[in-house]
Structure 1
Amino acid sequence: MDVSNLRPEYNVYKAVYALAHALDNLHRCEPGTGPFPGRSCATLHTLEPWQNIQFSTSFGDEVSFDKNGNVLPIYDIMNWKWRPNGQINIQNIGDVKISMVKEDLAIYDRKIFWNFESKKPPQSVCSENCPAGTRMARQRGQPVCCFDCILCSEGTISNSTDSTECSMCPEDFWSSPGRDQCVPKKTEFLSYHEPLGICLTTASLLGAFICAVVLGIFTYYRSTPLVRANNSEMSFLLLVSLKLCFLCSLLFIGRPRLWTCQLRHAAFGISFVLCVSCILVKTMVVLAVFKASKPGGGATLKWFGALQQRVTVFALTCIQAVICIIWLVTASPTPHKNTAYHNDKIVFECVVGSSACFILLLSYIGFLAFLSFMLAFLARNLPDNFNEAKLITFSMLIFCAVWVAFVPAYVNSPGKYADAVEVFAILASSFGLLVALFGPKCYIILLRPERNTKKNILNQNINKQTRSLTH
């Protein structure tokens, strides 16, 4: 039978077993191997309280004695339970076990009988427990047990009930909607996987592909009068630089890295200066050829030969390269985790490092573009074989308009949208130059080949010159 529920009987049971264990240990002890001083054994005539005994009952209870010989108690926690017939049943719902090293308290909640209508334990406070994600705020003028549960503010959490305060999340984490745990902050940058990034990437690759197609067309028809009359070498170099302009926009898409931050503006600046330099040289050659066609102007062409054109483009591009090198050496652009735009997001962006170098880079491109525009505008009414000046004027007008609009849009765009604005400006200006400069020529080469003859071009020149002299 389960004698553990019979308290007096159980004590007698433990007393008998304590005596039995003591006698057994006494009987088994051999002189010289005992547990007492001098390795002696106890005797019935010299027993002392400190000569302790310790054993476990078959019910798992430990029986031991303190230094005074008193047994270490086990307290039962009892519960009075009403039976349907009106009688009272005393039930053990827990115990307190005291040993030499610790005290164990065990309560079995499911066995407890609460003598209330709800059959639930009474409320010890006037407010419910505050769940995780909230903190306790004491109600003014009320007892200490009365409080309100206030949701933790953004960026703070409480992960236990009845918290008195909320704790801050680490720097790269933010509170969950329930304010009960810290979760990693969302990251934001112009990604290849989002619709905006996909559109810009597609436009960039499309522009580079069109440049390659146009370059193939001009290479195939390089011996035709139209291609030869429009400075074919500079046209080829211009198409290559436009292709680089399209491709450099890809450096602005994706998570910023140190090498992409350093390369993106350098590649952008050098590619566009190479492009605008080619346009500027083409414009200067148009003016020089027209001036050489007049009496006494033949000496002008010697300053605009093929070698001089290459040197001019190379020199103008080298100036931009020097600006980029100084920028990278003195204050290189670096990736940065910006948390100023959004509290719950980390915006990855490239810090330009030196605003002065960035402004100087853009200003140099703008200066060359404006100079090309002014020269092309002056040459816009030249005869037909030189009428590329009209196309250059229109293309430079588009180019300047795009980049003038870019500056305020870039300054007022936060995070990834600043990169998107810059990529859009690169693509818009590149497409403007590509379509304005090479669209009409490809139209004539592919769809109107009868106009791509030396006789037709010369006839148009004569007619244009005649009308020009008449006016």
Structure 2
Amino acid sequence: MCTITDPSQLPYKYHQRGDLIVGAMVSQFGCLFDDTSFNEHPKTKLIEGIISAPKNYQHVLSLVYAVKEINENPKILPNVSLGFHIYDSFLTAKITHQNILKLLSTQEKFVPNFKCDKHQHLIAVIGGLDSEVSLHMATQLGIYKIPQQIFHQIAYCASFPVRNVKLHLPSFYRMVPNEAHQYRGIVHLLQHFQWIWVRILASKDDNGERFVQTMTKMLSEHRICIAFITRIPVLSQLTEMVERIESINLANPYVSRILSPISSEVKVIVVNANGQTTTGLKWMIYFYTLLEDAAVATIGKVWIMTARWDFSALSKERDFDIQPFHGTLSFAIHSNEVPGFSEFLRFLHPKSQHGDDFIRIFWEQAFDCLFSESDGIKESSDTCTGQERLENLPGTLFEMSMTGQSYSIYNAVLAVAHTFQKMSLFRPRCRAMRDKPNPQPLILLSIQLHPFLRSISFNNSAGDTVSFDKEGELAGGFDLINWVTFPNQSFSRVKTGMMDPWSCPGKEFTINQEAITWHSTFNQVQPIAVCNDHCNPGYSRKKKEGKPFCCYDCDPCPGGKISNQKDMDDCLKCPEGQFPNKNHDKCLPKNLNFLSLKEPLGIILSVLASFFILTTALVLGIFIKNQNTPIVKANNRDLTYSLLVSLLLCFLCSLLFIGKPQEVTCYLRQTSFGLVFSVAVSSILAKTITVVLAFMATKPGSKMRKWVGKKLANSIIFVCSLIQAIICAVWLCTAPPFPDLDMDSLTEEIVVECNEGSITMFYCVLGYLGFLATVSFTVAFLARKLPDSFNEAKFITFSMLLFSSVWLSFLPSYLSTKGKSMVAVEIFSILASSAGLLGCIFFPKCYIIILRPELNSKDRTENTDCSASCCRQHGGQKQRDTETQEKTSTDKSFV
């Protein structure tokens, strides 16, 4: 709080008369006092007791230039001059209230509740730059319904708890966009650069707490972690550190805690850049450079500042190093270059501005000099000549281009002028008054101004459209500024983007990343702000226990899943028909997997099947050619032909399993295999039973003779095959096989297969074949020692043993393989079992027929029969045995 003995003698005001008056309450001075007692004139005391921010003087000049531009433009308020009264609030309630009363009376002396100057009418008030000052102004201006245009967001504060600004303060018009747009811009900026590990700096007051609460919620919603939240200490605490600067060091916990934002490893810091935060941050950097070795005291951070940030130094801080803020990114109220403003500043002279009590103070503080007639006490012995050039001042003290806040003041004055013009055009009485020699504004003009001010929309000289939204806030956006500093304490503002809430959805935030200059410590490489290293594609994030969600471990993606971006929370399953590559960061299309005739395995199995087909056909031809020989007749020619034909079909049906499955082949594969094998095994069973019955029929008085013959054999084949045919028919009618694509069995391939439809029916077919094979094996095993030169029981026993072994090993192999391997296993089982039957039963006979024809004779058959008769236990009479043998000779031809 500034201590001022006689505020009535304050000289800091600037008057320009006119028919209409715009009042302004600026904050030219920020106060910092020591304990010195003053006995001088109050004016001297005030000048010595403050440290001024010269850069704020541009706010005054922007208002003056706006009034000048309006009065020189005949299209705006013709025949009406616009004037202004400017007062400094000194950031105190007492002086603010006093100066508001002066504005309301529009005279040097004021009488409360009386209008003392009927020739000049106050139509609007502009200012101030501080929320508390604005609220102090509102307590008085709200009574008179005078429009008040401010340049900040009104927030909750201890002295004036305003929640709904538009409801409680209807006269407020904010020349800044809604701060929510700025917060969303910060989130967009962090998301654009993938900065998810940030720190927040805010002032230790109500406004800072509100900023922390708002940003914490928004950042959490967008999965951005806050590493730390630091409240900037009040100025008194920093002053205390200055007093103890010789005894403190970074090992001191108190000092370490205060300077942690500078010394921490967090690279991105979001700063609520109000006055206290900015001042505190400067002193923190100053202390840090004092405590650290100059060689290692480089502060490489990415500062993200809110819209009130500016390189504005106090008069005693002109040598403050701004290099730590090189590369800073800040949001700023959208502004544009105002034509003529720079020229207006170049012609500014401290002795040419009549009525301006600010300029001399500004001139002395900005150029660190003293006018000869000044009563102040300055440390500098330089004398102000008035010929100093403003463009030579460093940007921290003054800028020739209009800053964002000055641009808002400029637009505020234009808004008042355009509103009054719009109002006068819509009121006949106003138009009539313009024709009078001395037009006078209407009584209660400021009250009538509100409806027109709310709906005002115009283009200023810089080409921007100025209007208010329904909440009384500027309908605009924020510029993203990159601050580039130079060793000579100068800097450059580079516009690198914009947050425009009025753009199309999805295009509100734009940024030109190539135009950004980063701090030198980053070597012009985009900084990284993460808790730990990124998880590369092929990995997913796994949360660390006890750490924020931005801190995680990286786990590789499991089989069948990928992650194609960094820092994915979970791996994604590849679409159907695709599989992950080796690095699990991309899905590749699967190849079709089926046993093709074009691949080596398919060719080998096809050639093997063809070989067995030809072999079987050759054996069949041999038997047909030698059909009248004893060995062929002794083994029942019809059963032999039936078995050979069925084996030939078995070899042929194996070819159905090769090639891409089609609907027809899927129908025929398993059913034809089951039927043909049933015929083959049934034929073997019939041959075995016939052998057994033939020998049983040779016994004297045996009743088995009536069962011996072709009829029984054909019946066995028919009945056994019919049962299998019924099973296959039921299968095809209920759940037939069909072509199918198996996406999941193989990782990198799509299995093109014949879905069995009903797996139960498939195993019924195999089970029935197993049953026939078991019966055939059992009967053949029991008949293996029956005496006969051409007895096949031994060969049938061995062949059925081989057959059963093949299909017993087939089941586990079939169930443990997928795709073409499973088909190959079944083909191999068909070929192996069929070849076993062919080889074990027919090759010995072919050997006799082709290579040992002398054994293929009737005599050998008769000798064998005689020898068998002699071995019988009923032998007493050889003649009777001979007769019996002759009677059964015909029957034995079926064996």
* Selected match of 1:461 from 861, 870, 877: 861
Q: 1:70 and 1:187, CA in 2 relative to 1: closer, same or farther beyond 3 A?
A: closer
C-alpha distance after superposition, 1:316-347 (max 9, x if no partner): 32122123223444555566766886677766
Q: 1:422 and 1:72, CA in 2 relative to 1: closer, same or farther beyond 3 A?
A: closer
C-alpha distance after superposition, 1:402-460 (max 9, x if no partner): 345545x3576343555544433322221111112221232333344x437xxx61222
Match of 1:427 in 2: 831
Letter in 1 for 2:800: M
C-alpha distance after superposition, 1:183-234 (max 9, x if no partner): 4567666565665554444333322221122223333444555434433332
- Checking the alignment, whether the CA contact within 8 Å between 2:785 and 2:794 is kept in structure 1 is no
Q: 1:184 and 1:399, CA in 2 relative to 1: closer, same or farther beyond 3 A?
A: same
Q: 1:104 and 1:225, CA in 2 relative to 1: closer, same or farther beyond 3 A?
A: same
Q: Take 1:225 and 1:238, find their aligned partners in 2: how far apart are those partners?
A: 18
Q: Take 1:447 and 1:249, find their aligned partners in 2: how far apart are those partners?
A: 31
Matched, 1:7 2:337: yes
Matches within 5 A, 1:164-203: 164-170=569-575, 173-183=578-588, 195-203=600-608
- Checking the alignment, whether the CA contact within 8 Å between 2:743 and 2:750 is kept in structure 1 is yes
Match of 2:725 in 1: 321
3-state SS of paired residue (1:113): coil
Q: 1:8 and 1:253, CA in 2 relative to 1: closer, same or farther beyond 3 A?
A: same
Question: Which structure 1 residue ranges, 5 or more long, are not aligned?
Answer: 1-5, 14-36, 38-44
Match of 2:519 in 1: 115
Matched, 1:415 2:818: yes
- Checking the alignment, whether the CA contact within 8 Å between 2:670 and 2:762 is kept in structure 1 is no
Q: Take 1:219 and 1:463, find their aligned partners in 2: how far apart are those partners?
A: 26
* Selected match of 2:679 from 253, 274, 280: 274
- Checking the alignment, whether the CA contact within 8 Å between 1:241 and 1:271 is kept in structure 2 is yes
Identity of aligned residues (%): 35
Letter in 1 for 2:769: L
Q: CA deviation at 1:376?
A: 4.1
Q: 1:11 and 1:301, CA in 2 relative to 1: closer, same or farther beyond 3 A?
A: farther
Letter in 2 for 1:7: E
- Checking the alignment, whether the CA contact within 8 Å between 1:251 and 1:264 is kept in structure 2 is yes
Q: CA deviation at 1:173?
A: 4.9
Match of 2:566 in 1: 161
- Checking the alignment, whether the CA contact within 8 Å between 1:176 and 1:182 is kept in structure 2 is yes
Match of 2:498 in 1: 96
The structure with the greater share of residues assigned to helix is: 1
Q: 1:140 and 1:308, CA in 2 relative to 1: closer, same or farther beyond 3 A?
A: closer
Q: 1:128 and 1:284, CA in 2 relative to 1: closer, same or farther beyond 3 A?
A: closer
Matched, 1:80 2:484: yes
Match of 1:244 in 2: 649
Match of 1:42 in 2: none
Q: Give me the CA root mean square deviation.
A: 4.6
Q: Take 1:171 and 1:71, find their aligned partners in 2: how far apart are those partners?
A: 49
Q: CA deviation at 1:273?
A: 1.9
Matched, 1:395 2:805: no
Matched, 1:215 2:620: yes
Q: Take 2:667 and 2:543, find their aligned partners in 1: how far apart are those partners?
A: 55
3-state SS of paired residue (1:160): coil
Q: CA deviation at 1:241?
A: 0.2
3-state SS of paired residue (2:728): helix
Moved more, 230-239 or 302-311: 302-311
* Selected match of 2:610 from 184, 189, 205: 205
- Checking the alignment, whether the CA contact within 8 Å between 2:724 and 2:765 is kept in structure 1 is no
Q: Take 1:314 and 1:272, find their aligned partners in 2: how far apart are those partners?
A: 13
* Selected match of 1:66 from 467, 478, 485: 467
Letter in 1 for 2:771: Y
Q: Take 1:335 and 1:362, find their aligned partners in 2: how far apart are those partners?
A: 25
Letter in 2 for 1:207: F
TM-score by length of 1: 0.69
Matches within 5 A, 1:124-163: 124-140=529-545, 146-163=551-568
Moved more, 197-206 or 187-196: 187-196
Match of 2:638 in 1: 233
TM-score by length of 2: 0.40
3-state SS of paired residue (1:96): strand
Q: 1:318 and 1:52, CA in 2 relative to 1: closer, same or farther beyond 3 A?
A: same
Q: Take 1:10 and 1:215, find their aligned partners in 2: how far apart are those partners?
A: 114
C-alpha distance after superposition, 1:101-145 (max 9, x if no partner): 457554333333323243334433343343333334454555665
Counting matched residue pairs gives 421
- Checking the alignment, whether the CA contact within 8 Å between 1:327 and 1:357 is kept in structure 2 is no
3-state SS of paired residue (2:467): coil
Q: Take 1:300 and 1:65, find their aligned partners in 2: how far apart are those partners?
A: 119
Q: 1:361 and 1:80, CA in 2 relative to 1: closer, same or farther beyond 3 A?
A: same
Letter in 1 for 2:498: V
- Checking the alignment, whether the CA contact within 8 Å between 1:276 and 1:368 is kept in structure 2 is no
Q: Take 1:122 and 1:313, find their aligned partners in 2: how far apart are those partners?
A: 85
Q: Take 1:287 and 1:71, find their aligned partners in 2: how far apart are those partners?
A: 108
Matches within 5 A, 1:330-409: 330=734, 332=736, 348=753, 350=756, 352-354=759-761, 357-358=764-765, 360-370=767-777, 372-374=779-781, 376-379=783-786, 381-382=787-788, 384=789, 386-407=790-811, 409=812
Question: Which structure 2 residue ranges, 5 or more long, are not aligned?
Answer: 1-335, 344-425, 427-433, 435-451, 872-895
Q: Take 1:401 and 1:128, find their aligned partners in 2: how far apart are those partners?
A: 59
- Checking the alignment, whether the CA contact within 8 Å between 2:458 and 2:467 is kept in structure 1 is no
Q: Take 1:179 and 1:71, find their aligned partners in 2: how far apart are those partners?
A: 48
Moved more, 96-105 or 424-433: 96-105
Q: Take 1:398 and 1:70, find their aligned partners in 2: how far apart are those partners?
A: 94
3-state SS of paired residue (2:528): coil
Q: Take 1:91 and 1:433, find their aligned partners in 2: how far apart are those partners?
A: 94
3-state SS of paired residue (2:496): strand
